[in-house]
């Protein structure tokens, strides 16, 4: 039995991007762990951080990250994966004050890279993955780049997934070398759809509806993994 570890920036990225591959490996008998980096709580979010909650149709007093962690556990349960949630704060809670800032340069005062790399290294020493997966950072979300850069700093062999649904909005293909393509069969698609459907707070914002997400994944032929380059 191999151990596959997926390092997800947010509570949905691994399932959205490589849910089919993870499901296939789980059905083959492998152990699957999805470790999500930015899942920390802020008791009373304000400004852009609060707006990121309100635009999902959630009231200000809802514990947004607790809700999302519960969604992630439900998604992991679809394929029997272990879920690990690091208590680090998402970019809107670290001073990124608008959507354009989320997809722009890393703030000079954002000191997250070092602590993230240290924490990931500690967990990976314990988890001892046979296959390590992480984000390619398609779409240039600052948190996705932080995870990619932290994995590079650790220096372990890693394959990088094409971040989805950001990939569907990209105008060019990733330049990094392709190392593996996992063709999706009907079971892979069904499990990926079921995993993604567990993230109910995100479906309208990311896809428009459950039906739109299902149709979009139904059109995916394969999940592609890249070398870091």
> Contact, 56 vs 201, CB < 8 A?
yes
Q: At what angle do helices 64-79 and 13-27 cross, to 10 degrees?
A: 20
Tens-binned pLDDT, residue by residue, of the chain (229 aa) = 899 999 999 999 999 999 999 999 999 999 999 999 999 998 888 999 999 989 898 899 999 999 999 999 999 999 999 999 999 999 999 999 999 999 999 999 999 999 999 999 999 999 999 999 999 999 999 999 999 999 999 999 999 999 999 999 888 889 999 999 999 999 999 999 999 999 999 999 999 999 999 999 999 999 999 999 7
* Residue 68 domain boundaries: 3-226
Cis amide leading into 165 (omega within 30) = yes
- pLDDT score recorded for residue 75: 99
- pLDDT score recorded for residue 152: 98
- pLDDT score recorded for residue 11: 98
Tokens standing for 116? 């993230």
Q: Residue 9's closest CA among 48, 46, 42, 35?
A: 35
Residue 61's Cα: distance from chain center in Å? 25
Say how many domains are in the chain: 1
Look-up of token digits 């490589």:
18
In this structure, the strands spanning 222-226 and 159-161 are antiparallel
- pLDDT score recorded for residue 171: 82
CATH number of the domain residue 96 falls in: 3.40.50.10320
């Amino acid at each position: 039995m191999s151990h596959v570890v997926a390092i997800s920036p947010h509570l949905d990225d691994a399932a959205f991007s490589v849910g089919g591959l993870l499901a296939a490996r789980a059905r083959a008998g492998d152990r699957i762990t999805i470790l999500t980096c930015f899942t920390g709580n802020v008791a009373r979010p304000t400004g852009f951080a609060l707006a990121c909650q309100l635009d999902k149709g959630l009231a200000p007093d809802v514990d947004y990250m607790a809700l999302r962690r519960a969604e992630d556990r439900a998604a992991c349960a679809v394929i029997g994966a272990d879920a690990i949630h690091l208590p680090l704060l998402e970019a809107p809670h670290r001073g990124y004050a608008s959507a354009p800032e989320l997809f722009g340069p890393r703030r000079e005062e954002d000191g997250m890279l070092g602590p993230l790399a240290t924490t990931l290294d500690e967990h990976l020493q314990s988890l001892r993955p046979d296959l390590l997966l992480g984000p390619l950072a398609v779409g240039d979300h600052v948190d996705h780049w932080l995870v990619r850069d932290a994995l590079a700093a650790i220096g372990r062999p890693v394959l990088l997934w094409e971040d989805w649904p950001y990939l569907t909005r990209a105008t060019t293909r990733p330049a990094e070398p392709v190392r593996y393509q996992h063709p999706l069969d009907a079971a892979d698609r069904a499990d990926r759809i079921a995993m993604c459907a567990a993230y109910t707070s995100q479906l309208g914002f990311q896809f428009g509806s459950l039906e739109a997400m299902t149709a979009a994944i139904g059109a995916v032929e394969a999940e592609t993994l890249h070398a870091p380059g």
